[in-house]
Structure 1
Amino acid sequence: MDSRILKELIIEQKKEFEYDDKFVKRTALDSIANYLELPHILIISGLRRSGKSTLLKEINKYFFSNETVYYFNFEDERLIGFTASDFNLLYETFIELTGKSRIFLFDEIQNVENWELFVRRMYDRGFKFIITGSNSSMLSKELGTRLTGRYIGIELFPFSFKEFLLLKNISVPEFLLTEDRASIKGHFNEYLQCGGIPEYLIYKNDLILKTLYENILYKDVFARYRLSAEKVLKELSFYLFSNYGGEISYNKLRTMLNVSINTVKSYIGYLENSYLVFTVPRYDYSVKKQISSHKKVYVIDTSLINLISFKFSRDYGRLLENLVFIELKRNNRDIYYHKDRHECDFLVFENNRITNAIQVTASLNGNSDREYKGLYEALTRYGLDEGLVLTADEEFEDTFKNKKIVVMPVWKWLLQ
């Protein structure tokens, strides 16, 4: 690697990195503050354009403002020839240009094969690393083999509803009057349609979402995994986006796409690794049955659903359900769904047991019996006394047979 190119990039990126942007303070900073006290490598992974680079700027501003840091973004076409053997040259170039430091902030590091070898060596010498990447499987696989016990992983998602309101400088009073509720509901409906991808919320240009989606498909999936069936990947992704919130059958997809069932599973796994979609298993005490049962699928952001999916497949209740799922993931919950005679949308698994059962629907008007039956079946099956129904705007407490049912608007639940 030419040291002149590295010098040029370091100077350019340093100027951009230290530019005093106005940030929406991410809620992830609260947990990051605790982890920075530890010597461990901090890995931040998430969807492209979800704010990982900006989060690094926030970390620098709030925690390292009085220190020299080595910041480097590997998402640059001038680094095509950069390999793991060039890290030493990069380190020497940093010392030459900015002086000594023991803090590395590396952005999109998954672009360099075997990057973990340098990180491990320098970590053992007492250096601190905060690293971002856009591929969950690649990061976990590499860290699991060479950095076991030396890292802490954090997943960054697009803006939550709270962060969306911060972006708009909207404060939520402790006690909501009628006007306040109406205003918050209006902002929530905008959030449901526009999602939480920061750049899109600022510019509201669909080309931003289209480019993001295509970059993920072609760079993070098609190119990274050296796939040959581009048409299959695009058709599969479109199908999953159009069937969000529903069960998927590998056998059905195999027939529809005319490929093997292993190809279907692999391609869905690649899409999950890129943070575009997520699959949720049906809960069963038998792990074997969990693995073989149909999965439900959800999408990373409602803005992409509204742009990509078949328009007749969208409905308000399913968008709410997708939003609730992403919020549960954002809060690091292990999530399943329940299905027997009836169905319950979400089960939260903590401390080796099911701790919460949640049903999501646009409205209980004329629909309460079906929603209550699914929730009641889950509550009874897993020994819970109380369940939650999230709706567009209803709020009350109810009893179904011997179980307490709390009904709450999704927007209010998101603000808790």
Structure 2
Amino acid sequence: MRTEDKLKNILKDWKEFELPEHVEREFDKVFLESDKILTVIGPRRAGKTYLCYQLIKRLKSNVPEDNILYINFEDERLHPLEGDELTKLLEIYYELFDPKEGKKYFFLDEIQEMEHWEKWCRRIDEQEKDIKLILTGSTSKLLSKELSTNLRGRTLSWKVFPFSFKEFLKTKDIDYEDRNIFYSTKKRSRMKALFNEYLRDGGFPEIVLEEEEVLKKKILQEYFSTIYYKDIIERFNVGNIPALEDFLKMRLDNFTGQMTLTQSKNNLKSIGHRVGKATLKKYLNHAQEVFFLFKLEAYSMSRKKRIRNPRKIYAIDTGLVNAVRFDFSEEYGPALENIVFIELKRREKEVYYHKNDGECDFIIKEGRDIKSAIQVTKTLEGTRERELQGLKDAMEEYDLEEGLVLTENEKDNIVLDGREIDVLPVWLWLLSND
């Protein structure tokens, strides 16, 4: 079938498409109102398409329907791609639609499937001033800072992660803004039970909305396989597939732990894989580009020192870790730490860990200065001295008057050598706006 006919069929279907029900996601409307190209990025199955539907529904309240176009470039009807789909898209749009005066909104889902998409987007941005482009993709290459010179400076990026705890609670019809939650035994117990579910199953929308427990793990295992095969092996043309799989599973086995490439190389060698450090660095970068794993550096003013220090590795979702690992039950502390890290990324914080005489899980940099320090532990019982020492070390290093300890259930206020430390349950902190 000709490209024109494929596109006509898909665009005709869009004209008749009814938007599905969806959970309202967090989104700042100024990103849609800006004249810049909007890139919506995040891991596969995190809800990028449904965020597009949410934005389209919002637009339809004051924008004519024919001024809004949505097309998914992973639609099997477009494949095999001929390479001229984008070139012909605008012509066919004006042939089939009757847009009114004013802004037109083009939602182009998984646009990284198209070759030379950046050049086309630049041309549209320059020549069609009444068209607002909204691009989605499951690779960080769509990030503004990582785009080629064709689009640099022309885009704004919005990251979509799996549901935050607030969004998770929306699906349960829970009023998380109730200020009495912590002080009501019944409400607090309910919140803790829901948080344990969120910790165990994660925040991928399909999993949160799935009622059958037996299916959740199976679906998450399928997510891992899809990310592994389609997003990493196929996209980056990885040759040594068994080594990649074992490397990724090793990282999940030790999520939130420190790693070096030398250590990983030796671990893989012990089970029969001969892989160089340069290859392992590529594997890790690939996993980060598709939002599967995240690297966290130790803070130092010297970039060389940051690179030399071990990195800590975090996963996109604790449910995904739980589904792939053999035994998750003893990993409550790391799971709490992973959830805090992803929330900090969701809040667009510049995050490092601190390692000196003691170790602090997270320090937050704003501008040129370290502004806050966070320690995460299941409980302070039996670990109080070690956990507080690591936090205190960071507070002294960066001259911080206040610190934060996040735990499973404890709430307290501690004064240590004149410095104030708040102790909060992770779930309560997740409901804050800080």
Place the TM-score, normalised by the shorter chain, in its bin.
Answer: over 0.9
How do 1:218-233 and structure 2 match up within 5 A? 218-233=229-244
1:274 pairs with 2:290: yes
**Contact preservation (8 Å) 1:320, 1:410:** yes
Match of 2:140 in 1: 136
Match of 1:36 in 2: 32
Give the AA of the match of 2:239.
S
1:164 pairs with 2:160: no
Deviates more, 1:82-91 or 1:168-177: 82-91
Rounded Cα–Cα distance in structure 2 between residues aligned with 1:164 and 1:399:
34
**Cα 1:312–1:47, aligned 2, differ >3 Å: closer, same or farther?**
closer
Deviates more, 1:7-16 or 1:291-300: 7-16
Shift of 1:24: 1.5
SS in 1 for 2:84: helix
Match of 1:188 in 2: 195
How do 1:15-414 and structure 2 match up within 5 A? 15-16=16-17, 18-19=18-19, 21-27=20-26, 29=27, 31=28, 33-65=29-61, 66-67=63-64, 68-100=67-99, 102-124=104-126, 125-126=128-129, 127-137=131-141, 140=144, 143-172=147-176, 173-176=178-181, 177-203=184-210, 204=212, 205=215, 206-257=217-268, 258-311=274-327, 314-414=330-430
Rounded Cα–Cα distance in structure 1 between residues aligned with 2:323 and 2:417:
42
Rounded Cα–Cα distance in structure 2 between residues aligned with 1:265 and 1:313:
30
Rounded Cα–Cα distance in structure 1 between residues aligned with 2:311 and 2:276:
18
**Contact preservation (8 Å) 1:396, 1:408:** yes
**Cα 1:313–1:162, aligned 2, differ >3 Å: closer, same or farther?**
closer
> Aligned-residue CA RMSD in angstroms?
1.6
Q: Deviations over 1:65-97 (max 9, x none)?
A: 432211100112232333553213122222222
Rounded Cα–Cα distance in structure 1 between residues aligned with 2:33 and 2:374:
36
**Contact preservation (8 Å) 2:40, 2:134:** yes
Deviates more, 1:202-211 or 1:178-187: 202-211
**Cα 1:96–1:112, aligned 2, differ >3 Å: closer, same or farther?**
same
SS in 1 for 2:163: coil
**Contact preservation (8 Å) 2:145, 2:152:** no
Q: Deviations over 1:305-333 (max 9, x none)?
A: 10012416841111100000000000011
Q: Deviations over 1:20-74 (max 9, x none)?
A: x3221111x2x2x112222100001000010000000000111344322111001
SS in 2 for 1:99: coil
**Contact preservation (8 Å) 1:221, 1:270:** yes
Rounded Cα–Cα distance in structure 2 between residues aligned with 1:304 and 1:233:
17
**Contact preservation (8 Å) 1:302, 1:322:** yes
**Contact preservation (8 Å) 2:42, 2:138:** yes
Structure 1 alignment gaps of length 5 or more: none
SS in 1 for 2:428: helix
Shift of 1:13: 4.3
Deviates more, 1:288-297 or 1:165-174: 165-174
**Cα 1:142–1:408, aligned 2, differ >3 Å: closer, same or farther?**
closer
Rounded Cα–Cα distance in structure 2 between residues aligned with 1:141 and 1:327:
21
Give the AA of the match of 1:293.
N
**Cα 1:141–1:342, aligned 2, differ >3 Å: closer, same or farther?**
closer
Shift of 1:5: 1.5
**Contact preservation (8 Å) 1:14, 1:71:** no
Q: Deviations over 1:215-257 (max 9, x none)?
A: 1111111011111111111011100111101001100112233
SS in 1 for 2:147: helix
Rounded Cα–Cα distance in structure 1 between residues aligned with 2:25 and 2:190:
23
**Contact preservation (8 Å) 1:397, 1:406:** yes
SS in 1 for 2:372: strand
Match of 2:3 in 1: 2
Rounded Cα–Cα distance in structure 1 between residues aligned with 2:324 and 2:378:
22
Rounded Cα–Cα distance in structure 1 between residues aligned with 2:356 and 2:415:
22
Give the AA of the match of 1:54.
Y
Shift of 1:144: 3.4
**Contact preservation (8 Å) 2:110, 2:135:** yes
**Cα 1:151–1:314, aligned 2, differ >3 Å: closer, same or farther?**
farther
Q: Scaled by the length of structure 1, what TM-score is found?
A: 0.95
Deviates more, 1:96-105 or 1:276-285: 96-105
